[in-house]
Structure 1
Amino acid sequence: MESGPVDLGGFYGTVDIHLELEERLAKFTGREEAIIYSYGFATISSAIPAYSKRRDIIFCDEGVCFAVQKGLAASRSKIKYFRHNDMDHLEQLLEEQLKLDKKNPAKEKVTRKFIVAEALYMNHGDLCPLPKLVEFRNRYRTPIFLEESLSFGVLGEHGRGATEHWGLKPGDVDLICASLETAMGSTGGFCAGKSYVVDHQRLSGIGYCFSASMPPMLAAASIKGLDIMEGSPQIFSQLRDKAVAMRRLLRGTPGLRVCGESVNPVIHLQLACPSSSRDTDDELLERVARECIDSGVAVVVAKYLKEELKLPPASLRVTVCVELSEDELEKAAKVIKTAAAKHIL
Structure 2
Amino acid sequence: MFNFLHMCGLAAEATLSTTASWDLYETIQALFQAPSYHLVFEAALILWIVGLLFTKSYSSKVNKLTLTDKEKADLVEEWQPEPLVPNVPEDDPELINIRTRIVDSKLGKYVTLNGQKCLNMASLNFLAMVGKEVIEEEAVKSLKKYGVGACGPRGFYGTVDVHLEEEEKLAQFMGTEEAIVYSYGFATIASAIPAYSKRGDIIFCDEGVCFAIQKGIQASRSKVKMFRHNDTADLERLLTLHAEEERKDVKKARVTRKFLIVEGLYVNYGDICPLPKLMELKWKYKLRLFMDESISFGTLGKTGRGVTEHFNVPIDDVDFISASLENALGSFGGFGCGKSYVIDHQRLSGLGYCFSASTPPMLSQAAIVALDLLKNTPDMVDRLHANSAYLHEKLSRVPGLRVVGDTVSPVLHLQLAESDRKRASAMATLRCIVQMAEEEGVALVVASYLEKDERHLPPPSIRLAVNCDLDEKEMDRVVEVIDHACLASSNS
For normalisation by structure 1, the TM-score amounts to 0.96
Equivalenced residues, count: 338
Of 157, 164, 188, which aligns to 1:19?
A: 164
* Mapped pair 1:218 → 2:363: yes
Contact preservation (8 Å) 2:155, 2:354: no
Partner of 2:481: 335
Alpha-carbon contact 1:238-1:322 (below 8 Å) kept: yes
For 2:458, the aligned partner's letter is P
**Among candidates 418, 443, 448, match of residue 273 of structure 1:** 418
- Could you tell me whether the CA contact under 8 Å between 1:37 and 1:207 is conserved in 2? yes
Give the SS at the match of 1:101: helix
> Aligned Cα RMSD in Å?
1.2
Q: 1:12 to 1:176 in 2, by over 3 A?
A: farther
Distance, in Å, in 2 between the alignment partners of 1:135 and 1:320 is 32
Q: Deviations over 1:149-184 (max 9, x none)?
A: 110000001100000000010111111111111101
The answer on 1:74 being equivalent to 2:219 is yes
Q: Deviations over 1:265-301 (max 9, x none)?
A: 1110001114543222112111100111111111110
- Taking the TM superposition and a 5 Å limit, the aligned residue runs for 1:21-36 are 21-36=166-181
Matched ranges for 1:174-323 at <5 A:
174-274=319-419, 276-306=421-451, 307-323=453-469
Between the aligned partners of 2:373 and 2:347, the Cα distance in structure 1 is 28
- Structure 1 contact 64–121 (Cα < 8 Å) conserved: yes
CA-CA distance at 1:317 after TM superposition? 1.1
Q: CA deviation at 1:254?
A: 2.6
Q: What are the ranges of 5 or more consecutive residues in structure 1 without an aligned counterpart?
A: 1-7
Q: Which runs of 4+ in 1 moved over 3 A?
A: none
Alignment-mate amino acid for residue 193 of structure 1: G
1:57 to 185, 193, 202: 202
Gapped regions of structure 2 (runs ≥ 5): 1-152
Q: Which amino acid aligns with 1:241?
A: A
Number of the residue aligned with 1:103:
248
1:344 partner SS = helix
What's 1:156 paired with? Answer: 301
Structure 1 distance, partners of 2:165, 2:288, is: 28
Alpha-carbon distance in structure 1 between the residues aligned to 2:160 and 2:189: 23
For the residues of structure 2 that align with 1:189 and 1:171, how far apart are their CA atoms? 20
Task: Report the secondary structure of 1:200's partner residue.
Answer: helix
- 2:185·2:324 contact (CA, 8 Å) conserved in 1? yes
Superposed, 1:97-176 pairs within 5 Å as 97-176=242-321
Q: How far has the Cα of 1:111 moved from its partner?
A: 0.8
**d(CA) in 1 for partners of 2:371 and 2:429?**
40
- What is the aligned counterpart of 1:42 among 169, 187, 202? 187
Identical aligned pairs, as a percentage?
54
1:288-342 superposed Cα distances (whole Å, 9 cap, x missing partner): 0011111111111000111111111100111111011111111111111111111
Name the aligned partner's letter for residue 198 of structure 1.
Answer: I
CA–CA separation in structure 1 for the residues paired with 2:232 and 2:310: 19
**Secondary structure in 2 aligned to 1:192?**
strand
Aligned residues of 1:275 and 1:281 also touching (Cα < 8 A): no
| Aligned residue type for 2:183 | S
Q: Using the alignment, how far apart are the partners of 1:24 and 1:197 within structure 2? A: 18
CA contact (8 A) 1:254 1:344 kept: no
Match of 2:490 in 1: 344
- Cα shift at 1:140: 1.3
Q: Distance in 2 between matches of 1:324 and 1:20?
A: 32
Asked if structure 2 preserves the Cα contact closer than 8 Å seen for 1:118 and 1:147, the reply is yes
Give yes or no for contact 1:239–1:322 (8 Å, CA) kept in 2.
yes
- Does the 8 Å CA contact 2:154/2:357 hold for their aligned counterparts? no
TM-superposed deviation, 1:344: 2.5
In structure 1, what is the Cα distance between the partners aligned to 2:449 and 2:154?
A: 36
C-alpha separation between the residues in 2 aligned to 1:22 and 1:242? 31
The DSSP-based 3-state class of the residue aligned with 2:203 is strand
Question: Secondary structure at the residue paired with 2:330?
Answer: coil
Q: Secondary structure at the match of 2:273?
A: coil
In 1: Cα distance, 2:421 partner to 2:380 partner: 42
The residue that corresponds to 1:3 in the other structure is: none
The Cα shift of 1:10 comes to: 5.2
Task: Mark the structure with the bigger radius of gyration.
Answer: 2
Distance in 2 (CA, whole Å) between partners of 1:36 and 1:129 is: 27
Amino acid at match of 2:397: G
Deviation at 1:108, TM superposition (A): 1.1
Query: Structure 1, residues 200-229: CA drift from partner, whole Å, max 9, x if none?
Result: 111101111110111100000000111011
| Code of the aligned partner of 2:486 | A
1:97, distance to aligned residue in structure 2 (A): 1.5
**Aligned residue in 2 for 1:324:** 470
